[in-house]
Amino acid sequence: MYNYSYQHAVPVALTIAGLYSSAGAGIQADLKAFSVLWVYRAAAITAVTAQLRSVLQYLNITVIKIGMLGDASAVETIAAILKAYSQPPLVNAPVIVPKSGNVLLQCVVILLLGKRLFSLAILLTSNLPETARLTDLPEPVTVQKCIKF
């Protein structure tokens, strides 16, 4: 185990998300964003839950950001692990409907996200198509409609 004395002087941000080879999204994009904020950066790829337990056990996490979780098993596993450890603030940025417009998650996974992880979050950052799908309301198409949304 490393002794990260640097972490005591700087807030620690953990991203839990998918790995994208282009580095334009997922963990790599989160880590780039965290570096601009001058925080210590930690990451756990959603496909390898052992990393998540290790990071939560050995680092004093200040905030957690959750991105794309591909299936029900990942949602259930991550929710169970997070509940087993003390809870720093959680930001949930589900990737349900990306810019391509294709729905990435099955309905059962979307329901599990709401039931297991959204309730733990202090902030949910969904885009308009995702918000419409999560709330079962029509997608707002103007700023005025968005404000009323």
pTM of the model: 0.63
Ramachandran assignment for 132, one of left (phi > 0), alpha (psi -120 to 50 degrees), beta (any other):
alpha
Q: Give the closest residue to 97 by CA, choosing from 107, 83, 86.
A: 107
Please state the domain extents for the chain: 5-148
| Per-residue model confidence as pLDDT tens for the chain (149 residues) | 455 555 468 899 999 988 765 567 788 899 999 999 999 999 988 855 567 887 888 888 899 999 888 888 889 999 999 999 888 999 988 877 777 767 667 777 878 888 898 889 999 888 777 777 777 777 766 666 555 55
95, 67 Cβ separation under 8 angstroms = yes
CATH class of 5-148: alpha beta
Residue 95's φ and ψ, nearest 5 degrees, are -105, 95
